[in-house]
Amino acid sequence: MTQEINAQAGPVIELGPGTGSLTYSILNRGVPEKNLTLVEISAGFVKLLKKRFPRARVLRMDATRIGAQRLFENATVGSVVSGLGLRGMPPNQVAAILGGAFKYLRSDGTFYQITYGPRCPVPEWVLEQLGLHAALIGWTIWNLPPASVYRISRLPSHS
């Protein structure tokens, strides 16, 4: 999930970090804790994340609202990592999450999404509407159910 992330990724937003298992992986890739913004809706997980990652910015909020907030002044984020269950959400919520995330991503920034289904959890029409492209970059059969990771980025004409 985090294989393409490194210290040069700049600030990283993680959506739905839960207990922080992917957060640890991001830190192990060289991203400084102070460069992490963790967006979590569960009060219990927020408390745990603040304890585990005291130098990270932990926000209790619904990820569908990130575009309506002022998380960053400019598009300075290099990566967004999402563990959210997009497959079970209505398409308008998926569009709000991706649209909001790409508001903060640099032109070369990338959104990484884990999923447990046989295809990308973002409907094709949502990708088209937002000028985005999804590519499968990894999967594992060792996970139950098997997991896939998609890299979602801007189409060249939308950079």
Q: Round the average pLDDT of the chain to a whole number and report it.
A: 91
Four-CA torsion 105, 1, 113, 156, nearest 10 degrees: 50
Domains of the chain and CATH, by start: 7-158 (3.40.50.150)
Provide the pLDDT for residue 154.
96
Listing DSSP states for 125-148 in one string gives: HHHHHHTEEEEEEEEESSSSS-EE
Give the position of tokens 């002044």. 73
Each residue of 10-21: pLDDT tens digit? 799 999 999 999
| Pick from 51-55, 58-62, 69-73: least confident | 69-73
Residue 159 has pLDDT above 60, yes or no: no
Question: Taking the CB of residue 114, how many other CB atoms lie within 10 A of it?
Answer: 21
- What string of DSSP letters covers 103-128? HHEEEEEEEEEEESSSS-SS-HHHHH
Return the percentage of the chain with pLDDT > 70, whole number.
95
> What pLDDT, in 10s, does the model give residues 85-100?
999 999 999 999 999 9
pLDDT confidence tier of residue 122, bands split at 50, 70 and 90: very high
Average pLDDT over residues 67-86: 88
Mean pLDDT of 59-79: 89
Residue 135 is which amino acid? A
